[in-house]
């Protein structure tokens, strides 16, 4: 008992010291928090930027154009035909952490994506078409959803400038100064528009039937704009038409403009040969 009585004053003194230290620390923490308030505000602003998960680089490019900065792509760029991809558990886990999940209705894994999204993420169906008017409509829609309308408007301005330049450039390469007649796959009509070409028929996404082959060949197109991601080989053999591979999906940088630049280059090459 004597040892207990001896320790009590020491314990009281220690407790008092701890309380004093805690009080001082609290005051300093309050001062620090006050001083750091602007930084915290900036951090919160950063967190306000949406986390966007997209099925492919195509949706990803639309999201980036609309102003999204945190974009995760599920289907690797190395997968030639994106609809064939089977999402992994890690892909679906990423979906569950997203603020927005972008997908296209024709993608067979859309149902899995919807199921994995949970209650937090907003599912956004994207119209995947590189037609300039449709692209800008999607970018506007996404910019409004993400709260990045200003960034979307800025991107559209640059896009319009680049598109007009490419359109003029390709038209300058028309054979004999005349708009070439073209047959397009359902997902390459935008490239015909870029070239100012004259569409005379469309095929796909299924392979061309014998009846379609006869019908399209009879229209004597100068060019066939094939979908590089869904190619079934030579579309109109023995028709004399030059077949041009059109790539729809952007690269890993999620930049949509190179898709148009590359298409313009391929079209000019075909018209010059």
Please tell me the predicted confidence (pLDDT) of residue 4.
37
- Are 207 and 114 within one domain? no
Report if residue 77 sits inside a domain: yes
Please tell me the predicted confidence (pLDDT) of residue 152.
99
Q: What distances in angstroms separate CA 75 from CA 66, 125, 202, one per listed residue?
A: 20, 16, 28
Q: What distances in angstroms separate CA 131 from CA 190, 206, 238, 259, one per listed residue?
A: 5, 21, 30, 12
Please tell me the predicted confidence (pLDDT) of residue 193.
98
Say if residue 24's pLDDT is above 70. no
- Are 153 and 186 within one domain? no
Please tell me the predicted confidence (pLDDT) of residue 218.
97
Mean local confidence (pLDDT), 100-124: 83
- Are 150 and 199 within one domain? no
Last residue within a domain, chosen from 161, 196, 221: 161
- Are 53 and 156 within one domain? yes
Please tell me the predicted confidence (pLDDT) of residue 189.
98
The HSE-up count of residue 78 (CA atoms within 13 Å, CB side) is 0
Mean local confidence (pLDDT), 190-217: 96
- Are 107 and 188 within one domain? no
Q: Which residue has the higher pLDDT, 5 or 249?
A: 249
The radius of gyration computed from the CA coordinates of the chain, to the nearest angstrom, equals 29
CA angle at 7 for the pair 6 and 13, rounded to the nearest 5°: 120
Say if residue 52's pLDDT is above 70. yes
Report if residue 15 sits inside a domain: no
Range of the domain at 149: 48-161
The band of 110, judged by pLDDT with boundaries at 50, 70 and 90, is confident
Maximum mean pLDDT: which of 38-42, 162-166, 269-273:
162-166
Predicted model pTM: 0.80
Please tell me the predicted confidence (pLDDT) of residue 47.
54
For position 234, which CATH number holds?
3.40.50.1980
- Are 55 and 145 within one domain? yes
Report if residue 83 sits inside a domain: yes
Please tell me the predicted confidence (pLDDT) of residue 80.
77
- Are 133 and 186 within one domain? no
Please tell me the predicted confidence (pLDDT) of residue 119.
62
Give the DSSP letter string of 57-100.
HHHHHHHHHTT--EEEESS-TT-SSGGG----HHHHHHHHT-SE
3-state secondary structure at position 179? coil
Helices (H), the chain: 2-35, 37-47, 57-65, 89-96, 110-117, 132-146, 149-171, 189-195, 210-218, 257-272
Report if residue 204 sits inside a domain: yes
- Are 152 and 205 within one domain? no
- Are 55 and 157 within one domain? yes
Last residue within a domain, chosen from 114, 134, 161: 161
Report if residue 8 sits inside a domain: no
21-25, 51-55, 171-175, 246-250: which has the minimum mean pLDDT? 21-25
- Are 214 and 258 within one domain? yes
- Are 211 and 250 within one domain? yes
User: What token pair was written down for 265?
Assistant: 């280059």
Domain count of the fold of the chain: 2
Asked if residues 224 and 236 have their Cβ atoms less than 8 Å apart, the reply is: yes
Helices (H), 172-224: 189-195, 210-218
How many other C-beta atoms are found inside a 10 Å radius of the C-beta of residue 18? 10
Report if residue 34 sits inside a domain: no
Mean local confidence (pLDDT), 38-45: 37
- Are 262 and 224 within one domain? yes
pLDDT in tens, 75-91: 988 887 787 888 888 88
Report if residue 10 sits inside a domain: no
Asked if residues 216 and 208 have their Cβ atoms less than 8 Å apart, the reply is: yes
Last residue within a domain, chosen from 161, 186, 214: 161
Mean local confidence (pLDDT), 152-176: 98
Report if residue 210 sits inside a domain: yes
């Amino acid at each position: 008992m004597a040892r207990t009585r001896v320790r009590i004053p020491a314990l009281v003194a220690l407790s008092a010291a701890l309380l004093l230290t805690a009080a001082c620390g609290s005051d300093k923490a309050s001062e620090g928090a006050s001083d750091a308030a602007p930084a915290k505000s900036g951090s919160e602003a950063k967190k306000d930027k949406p986390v966007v998960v997209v099925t492919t680089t195509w949706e990803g490019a639309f999201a980036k154009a609309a102003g999204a900065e945190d974009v995760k792509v599920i289907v690797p760029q190395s997968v030639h035909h994106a609809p064939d991809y089977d999402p992994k558990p890690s892909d679906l886990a990423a979906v569950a952490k997203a603020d927005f999940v972008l997908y296209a209705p024709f993608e067979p894994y859309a149902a899995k994506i919807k199921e994995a999204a949970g209650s937090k993420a907003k599912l956004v169906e994207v119209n995947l078409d590189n037609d300039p008017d449709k692209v800008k409509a999607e970018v506007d829609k996404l910019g409004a959803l993400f709260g990045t309308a200003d960034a979307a408007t800025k991107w559209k301005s640059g896009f319009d400038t680049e598109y007009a330049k490419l359109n003029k450039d390709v038209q300058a390469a028309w054979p004999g100064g005349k708009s070439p007649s073209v047959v397009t796959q359902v997902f390459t009509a935008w490239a015909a528009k870029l070239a100012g070409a004259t569409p005379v028929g469309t095929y796909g996404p299924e392979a061309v039937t014998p009846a379609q082959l006869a019908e399209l060949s009879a229209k004597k197109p100068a060019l066939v704009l094939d979908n590089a991601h869904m190619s079934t080989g030579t579309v109109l053999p023995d028709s004399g038409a030059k077949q041009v591979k059109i790539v729809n999906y952007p690269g890993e940088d999620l930049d949509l403009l190179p898709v148009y630049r590359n298409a313009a280059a391929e079209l000019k090459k075909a018209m010059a040969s």
